[in-house]
Structure 1
Amino acid sequence: MSARQWARDLGMGAKFAVTGGREAWVRVLLTAVGVGLGVALLLLTTAIPSALASRGDRERSRNDMTYTSVVHKKSDRTLLVGTADTTYREQDVRGRVLRPEGAQAPLPPGVKEFPAVGEMVVSPALDRLLKSSGGKLLRERLPYRVAGTIADTGLSDPHELAFYAGIKDLKATTQTTGRIERIDSFGSSDASSEKMDPVLLLLVLIVFVVLLMPVGVFVAAAVRFGGERRDRRLAALRLVGADGRMTRRIAAGEALAGAVVGLVFGAGFFLIGRQVAGMITLFRMSVFPSDLNPAPALAALVAVAVPAAAVAVTLFALRGVVIEPLGVVRTARPSRRRLWWRLLLPLGGLAMLYPMIGQGRTNGDFNQYLVIGGVMLLLVGITALLPWVVEAVVNRLNSGGVAWQLAIRRLQLSSGTAARMVNGIAVAVAGAIALQMLFAGVEGDYTKANKNDLSRAQMSVTVPDGIPMSGVVQQMSATKGVTHTTALFRSDVGDGRNEPEHQVTMTVGDCAALREAAKLPSCKDGDIFAVENAKWDSNTPNMDEPGTKLYIDPSYGSSLKGKELAWTVPKSIRTADSREDPSGDERGGFLFTPGALPEKAESTLTGTVFLQLDESVPDVREYVRNSAAKIDPLAAPDTWTATTQSARFTSIRTGLSVGATCVLILIGASLLVSQLEQLRERKKLLSSLVAFGTRRRTLSLSVLWQTAIPIALGLLLASIVGLTLGTVLLKMTSTSVGVDWASVLSMTGIGAGVVVLVTLLSLPPLIRLMRPDGLRTE
């Protein structure tokens, strides 16, 4: 068969699709909408690398915390930057305080000019929050006048909360403190080169496959809309002389036309969705519309693959259909489906995954081709097995009411059409169950239990050095919702002025506070204790002999030389046993009560205040953060939690949640289009039944049963395949197999809920179709 003949027949089919009158146009429109929704999501997927790269570039361009040993001397080109990050009602706020040291100091990206002392420039999202009624407590924390906004080039996403504030008293106290830096430029040129854990790479691969497979299934189903009416039209072509192969190519041409129009629709949906993406936030994630630029090569692949798939799916679907001049044999009872070849797909997927069982994270990366191929075959196996399952079950269902009988008879005649509607939701649910099992299984490896004792404190506030102890304790104790404070201040003590050989910690607090860090025999103001048995501390016994000359805050650089304070261990020093403080640390070295603190030593202390809260007070943590900001803009409040999770693991899970939300929206929209197409196909049948006196309630129930039975069977099959895939993936990661049945039921419940919602939305058009005038024919 020549390429010219193929092109001519495909072109003839496309012409029939666009010039066949209202009926043909409706079918093309339905196909285009279904394909377009899938194409839009595929284009969105191809744009993700671009969005992530742009986000990373902006974050690196504004980087100002170097955490390096590079010392920048004060000059006309340097800038002092302090980290003033905060949190407001679970939303992170990126904050920086600035003091330029010369006329040529570097400007932060997105900022036109430095804010004056007492002013700040803010992101548009923060500006909106501060002006809203819900931003009252945050306005109290940021006592600066808004003097401008940060441009997009200085923000990671359109909904980021960020500010740059100008303050007067900002000093670089050390070479690089991690809180205050002296820099001569913003930005870092190198992206993080840290190698990702093999299990996390596996998670990323599975997430992409699981999210994209339902899209492919829906696109394949969309190009088959209106198949029964199309086949009857093809019989007319056989009557005027076309052979069987030519009619199949013409049918493929009709599907090709719908797919091409679907590409146009998909591009339009994508452009609309890209603009909408800049206005919404999903799971704390948002993007600038300009960042969503599909990679040209991947977009071209989508543009070629979708029409090609439309042709291939149509030819495959017609392989067992005999189109004769007087009709289509498919209207007769079809032959029973064979099971053996359908089992080959999931078995082949298991065979591809089997060699990686037990590999874990210690034997290198998983073979990405075997992973992708194996998971795809298992999920595609659902689409192959489901028609057989539906046929096998409905052929054994007979007795029941009128609505049940109508539904069962319809399913017996066209079980393949019913299964196609369910395929996408079944694939999505199976993938979700497997991913949920994998996430739950490996979560413990990326979740670390914190040492914090939540029964002794629920927050802590770290205060920079030089802040008076009494003022800190008074301010935090007076905060609304704070029931108890424990203030422990610290510095270092060494056996030499500059870079001492031995060094220990010096902790300062009143007797009640010191008892939170050590077991004291007795205590009064003016006492000093030596803790000799603290974990990780072996230097105290070398330094606590009475009469030993030591130095508080010893120097580690020529720029700080001379600031150390000499101190001699007194004869009255006593020993104490160590005890974990509320943060879980053991403090060795020396314990000072305020009355024993040498003169001028208070200016060397950095304080941590542990806070017990009354959780019944609304916004109690916001009051704590506001009090900390009044003490010093660089004070760092920290909310304690029982566990801490890996940032990469959390970001992958967040990406899955965002992607799953998009896929669910696609599933619902595509199912609705598919349901409307099915109702349109049965318009005359429904009208005939109504004309003969069948109650609308009976017909509505029959449509509901026609949807419910395949959905139930599809979700059951999806659960079996999902549990199997999840078990294999857990064994691949060398993780014990466990099933969270609550999650499995929730995944299947979400899938069923989407179908119920679609069914309810399709009831109004169903009622309109159940009218006798539907028998009218032009």
Structure 2
Amino acid sequence: MTRSDDPGVPGPLSRTRTPALLRDLGLGVRFAAAGGREGWTRTLLTSVGVGIGVALLLVASAVPHLLEARGHRSDARSESSVSFAPERNEKTDRTVLTKQIDTEFHNRAVQGVMMRADGAHPVLPPGLPRMPAAGRMYVSPALAEMLASPGARLLRERLPYVTEGTITDAGLVSPGELLFYLGSDTLTADNGGHRLTGYGHGLPVPPLAPLLVVLSAMVGVVLLMPVAIFIATAVRFGGDRRDRRLAALRLVGADVGSVRWIAAGEALFGALLGLSAGAALFLAGRPFVGSLSVWEQSVFPADLAPSTPLVAVILCAVPVCAVLVTLVAMRSVVVEPLGVVREGRGRKRRIWWRLPVPLAGLAILAVYGRTGDDRTAEPSPIVAGAVLVLLGLALLLPWAVEACVSRLHGGPVPWQLAGRRLQLSAGTAARTVSGITVAVAGAVALQMLFASMNAEFTRMTGQDPSRAQFFMVSENVLGDGAARTIEALGATEGVEQVIGTVEVYATKPGSYSEDELAPTTTITVGDCATLRELARTGSCADGDTFVAHPAHDQEMSDWIDESARKGEQVRISTDSAGAEVVETVYWTLPAGARTVTSRFDPHGVETTGILATPGAIDPASLPGATVVAQVRVDESVPDVSEYVRNTAARLDPAMRVVALNSTERDGRYASIQTAVKVGGTATMLLIAASMLVQQLEQLRERRRLLAALVAFGTRRSTLGWSVLWQTTIPVAVGLAVAVAGGLVLGWTLARMTGNQVSDWWLFLPMAGAGAGVVLLVTLLSLPALWRLMRPAGLRTE
């Protein structure tokens, strides 16, 4: 075999035409496939690394179909034809009365629906074979499992109904959803039932708010960029040993161009095996995702269907990435017939071409990604700018690592060993931690963006959890049931105080046209202690009556005085839209009723209108009354919230129980936060796996050196500490770059959305997570290190 160094004279392995390049690629594939145990070890490491990344990319490509499928199932069970017009609420053979009876158990939402058929052929929600009988229920598989668990005694007491069957997957949004349908023979339109004629016509979903578009775009970039970098790193596993093998090819006549394409062919073979491994890992793990729950989120295996166009992009991008990365990497390596120049000291890395990349990304975000005056936002410049910033940080990392390790001199033996090794292979060390650098930088920026947007999507409710922790409403009250309800809540374990009232609407008697609004106010009945929580009543005794005016609304005060005239009658009636039984009572407001100023109750509502004690009006005589209870509990009592909910369910299964909170967060904003937690957890696990694979690969490359050091008397603990420092130093540099870059990116994104950074110390948890990953990887690699330090590592073939 001859060799020609003249580019104009092609040799046997020097080809510039496309068929020749393909032959060189094919030759590289053959070397990888027939390279013996050594070659296959490197190829398998590459395929494992690429396979992990491909599996996660396939999961990401399935997210659009996953969200679409969840949305379709949610729409399919949404109630339709609910109307407040009496003429459209007429009974038919197919109509059904329903009422939401949601609850919570150990901070997990349990959705419930009470149902009663109007005829023999009622419409059914998806997942139900037939209407549940009265006192029986259909439950989701997850709820059935929870009810059967030993720790669900209080939940079984709250839902003491016979389980008639389980809801099929068609009626569930996710396999972990807690849902039940309860049959009833007492539900009516008068006690809160809503009549519906079908399912599957939910309200259209409004588009995402512009700020949420920014968040969603950033989430996608932050979660997928480390995966792409990891795949690009994985195809370079075993580079040192491969380069020495390529030197032998130069010795037999291959020119520089052919050697590069042969190396690309070896990486291509590992990438193709990685594609297969990733697809196999995805398909093998897909059937089990239904049993997994991350941050209380789960998915059906059938919904995890990757998008065909995105799969095609992955199938094409991964092999192309493997070839391009290898060709670019080989440009910095001079492979000569007698050795590889990489083993010598190369020229220093330059910063002049690396720094403009993140600066360009910041410029794009500042100029094109800014939300306009109408708060609109385009995702394209946001994605482009964020990708350039994070890619720029990955490019800056090798320069930063080299600049730091070049100054490592002296110190203990493990430190010297680690420093010398890093000085010889700073690029390899930087590649190892590039994924964690990008992930931490993106996470820091996201956390700063979330914190700056918090006020946009969090509102103050006006509720006061220090006065009461639960707000309850029941419309299913008859006779003296109101008094019994309040007494039973007060006797519940852990309950300290109950602000219990009975409320009805009162109208000024008279004839009114359809276009005329009748003067109406409310009558609130409660004891003196309760009324003092609702208004500044002053002295109070049973039998007293008050007219409560709002503190700063004169127009409302005039309306109340028009509706409730002292010494005159008011009408209390159930004559409202959809009412099946009409009952009317007249009551005279005492002329001596005092006018007082109302105050906000724990629920954040200013109680106005007529306030009366039970001695002035009997609550049992009020038609269509609603019981309202606001409960203060001793939060030191274990499961006190479950006791309160159990009492409420025993008194009225349809009683609405709401936990009071001083703030309320937008649902979509909270969903994106959950997605960040789920995706971030998966990304950190990927990073840990990638660092472990790369650590094992580097140890395997140096096994003969490690065995030789031990043979010459080096302590194993010394080598162990050196390996720890070899991992810690690049990670420390990477975390410093990540924190600096993440803070700048987060500040830019916050300014772009018109917000201010609220907390500059949000990087601490992310940096701690990165340090934890380093410690975990080092501990997991110690068994392999101990094994490689045996004298058998000196063997050669």
Q: What TM-score comes out, normalization by structure 2 length?
A: 0.94
Residues of 2 paired with 1:228 and 1:664: CA distance? 28
- Is residue 775 of structure 1 aligned with residue 786 of structure 2? no
1:260 counterpart letter in structure 2? L
Partner of residue 319 from structure 2, selected from 296, 307, 310: 307
CA 1:80–1:520 in 2, change beyond 3 Å: closer, same or farther?
A: same
Please give the secondary structure, in 2, of the residue aligned with 1:94: strand
Matched ranges for 1:50-89 at <5 A: 50-64=65-79, 68-69=83-84, 71-89=88-106
2:775 counterpart letter in structure 1? V
How many residue pairs are counted as aligned between the two chains? 771
Q: Which residue of 2 aligns with 1:291?
A: 303
Please give the secondary structure, in 1, of the residue aligned with 2:696: helix
Q: Which residue of 2 aligns with 1:490?
A: 503
Q: Which residue of 1 aligns with 2:475?
A: 464
The more displaced of 596-605 and 260-269 is 596-605
1:493 counterpart letter in structure 2? A
The more displaced of 454-463 and 750-759 is 454-463
Residues of 1 paired with 2:578 and 2:424: CA distance? 90
Residues of 2 paired with 1:726 and 1:557: CA distance? 53
1:346-399 CA-to-partner distances (Å, cap 9, x unmatched) read: 111111112157x45743432322211111111111221111111112112111
- Is residue 115 of structure 1 aligned with residue 132 of structure 2? yes
Whether the aligned pair in 1 keeps the contact of 2:475 and 2:624 (CA below 8 Å) is no
Partner of residue 157 from structure 2, selected from 121, 134, 140: 140
Please give the secondary structure, in 2, of the residue aligned with 1:92: strand
CA 1:465–1:130 in 2, change beyond 3 Å: closer, same or farther?
A: closer
Report the Cα offset of residue 699 of structure 1.
1.7
Residues of 1 paired with 2:457 and 2:121: CA distance? 45
Q: Which residue of 2 aligns with 1:392?
A: 403
Residues of 2 paired with 1:394 and 1:61: CA distance? 60
Q: Which residue of 2 aligns with 1:760?
A: 779
Report the Cα offset of residue 628 of structure 1.
0.6
1:521-571 CA-to-partner distances (Å, cap 9, x unmatched) read: 433333222223455524112233334443223744485695333334332
Please give the secondary structure, in 1, of the residue aligned with 2:198: coil
Residues of 2 paired with 1:473 and 1:35: CA distance? 63
2:464 counterpart letter in structure 1? D
Q: Which residue of 2 aligns with 1:239?
A: 251
Percent of pairs with identical residues: 49
- Is residue 336 of structure 1 aligned with residue 355 of structure 2? no
The more displaced of 307-316 and 493-502 is 493-502
The more displaced of 392-401 and 414-423 is 392-401
Residues of 2 paired with 1:196 and 1:601: CA distance? 49
Q: Which residue of 1 aligns with 2:526?
A: 509
Partner of residue 184 from structure 1, selected from 197, 200, 220: 197
Unmatched tracts of structure 2, length 5 or more: 1-15
Please give the secondary structure, in 2, of the residue aligned with 1:460: strand
Please give the secondary structure, in 2, of the residue aligned with 1:493: strand
Q: Which residue of 2 aligns with 1:199?
A: 211
CA 1:516–1:772 in 2, change beyond 3 Å: closer, same or farther?
A: same
- Is residue 670 of structure 1 aligned with residue 690 of structure 2? yes
Residues of 2 paired with 1:548 and 1:527: CA distance? 16
Report the Cα offset of residue 598 of structure 1.
6.5
Residues of 2 paired with 1:480 and 1:63: CA distance? 37
Residues of 1 paired with 2:215 and 2:103: CA distance? 31
Whether the aligned pair in 2 keeps the contact of 1:121 and 1:150 (CA below 8 Å) is yes
Report the Cα offset of residue 144 of structure 1.
0.6
Report the Cα offset of residue 33 of structure 1.
0.4
Residues of 2 paired with 1:143 and 1:644: CA distance? 32
Whether the aligned pair in 2 keeps the contact of 1:494 and 1:554 (CA below 8 Å) is no
- Is residue 30 of structure 1 aligned with residue 45 of structure 2? yes
- Is residue 657 of structure 1 aligned with residue 677 of structure 2? yes
Matched ranges for 1:71-470 at <5 A: 71-173=88-190, 179-188=192-201, 191-192=204-205, 194-356=206-368, 359-360=370-371, 362-467=373-478, 468-470=481-483
Residues of 2 paired with 1:37 and 1:763: CA distance? 22
Whether the aligned pair in 2 keeps the contact of 1:497 and 1:564 (CA below 8 Å) is no
Report the Cα offset of residue 195 of structure 1.
2.7
1:648-683 CA-to-partner distances (Å, cap 9, x unmatched) read: 111100000000000011011111100010011111
Q: Which residue of 2 aligns with 1:716?
A: 736
Q: Which residue of 1 aligns with 2:659?
A: 639
Report the Cα offset of residue 110 of structure 1.
0.8
Whether the aligned pair in 1 keeps the contact of 2:80 and 2:198 (CA below 8 Å) is no
- Is residue 21 of structure 1 aligned with residue 21 of structure 2? no
Residues of 1 paired with 2:271 and 2:619: CA distance? 82
2:291 counterpart letter in structure 1? M
Please give the secondary structure, in 2, of the residue aligned with 1:586: coil
Whether the aligned pair in 2 keeps the contact of 1:507 and 1:590 (CA below 8 Å) is yes
Residues of 2 paired with 1:147 and 1:546: CA distance? 55
2:261 counterpart letter in structure 1? R
1:393-435 CA-to-partner distances (Å, cap 9, x unmatched) read: 2112111222222221111111100110010111111111111
CA 1:242–1:424 in 2, change beyond 3 Å: closer, same or farther?
A: same
1:608 counterpart letter in structure 2? V
Report the Cα offset of residue 749 of structure 1.
1.0
Whether the aligned pair in 2 keeps the contact of 1:552 and 1:601 (CA below 8 Å) is no
Report the Cα offset of residue 769 of structure 1.
0.5
Q: What TM-score comes out, normalization by structure 1 length?
A: 0.96
2:763 counterpart letter in structure 1? V
The more displaced of 429-438 and 57-66 is 57-66
Whether the aligned pair in 1 keeps the contact of 2:464 and 2:661 (CA below 8 Å) is no
Whether the aligned pair in 2 keeps the contact of 1:17 and 1:24 (CA below 8 Å) is yes
Please give the secondary structure, in 2, of the residue aligned with 1:736: coil
Whether the aligned pair in 1 keeps the contact of 2:549 and 2:596 (CA below 8 Å) is yes
2:338 counterpart letter in structure 1? L
Please give the secondary structure, in 2, of the residue aligned with 1:523: coil
Q: Which residue of 2 aligns with 1:542?
A: 562
Please give the secondary structure, in 2, of the residue aligned with 1:399: coil
1:718 counterpart letter in structure 2? A
Residues of 2 paired with 1:147 and 1:655: CA distance? 35
CA 1:558–1:49 in 2, change beyond 3 Å: closer, same or farther?
A: closer
CA 1:544–1:74 in 2, change beyond 3 Å: closer, same or farther?
A: closer
When the two chains are superposed, the root-mean-square deviation of aligned CA atoms in Å is 1.9
Partner of residue 729 from structure 1, selected from 744, 749, 770: 749
1:682-707 CA-to-partner distances (Å, cap 9, x unmatched) read: 11111222222222222222222211
Report the Cα offset of residue 199 of structure 1.
1.1
Q: Which residue of 2 aligns with 1:696?
A: 716
CA 1:107–1:316 in 2, change beyond 3 Å: closer, same or farther?
A: same
Partner of residue 606 from structure 1, selected from 602, 615, 626: 626
The more displaced of 729-738 and 289-298 is 729-738
Residues of 2 paired with 1:603 and 1:546: CA distance? 21
Partner of residue 704 from structure 2, selected from 654, 659, 684: 684
Report the Cα offset of residue 200 of structure 1.
1.1
Residues of 2 paired with 1:180 and 1:476: CA distance? 24
Whether the aligned pair in 1 keeps the contact of 2:189 and 2:195 (CA below 8 Å) is yes
Residues of 1 paired with 2:76 and 2:336: CA distance? 68
Residues of 2 paired with 1:702 and 1:528: CA distance? 83
Report the Cα offset of residue 210 of structure 1.
0.6
Whether the aligned pair in 2 keeps the contact of 1:534 and 1:588 (CA below 8 Å) is no
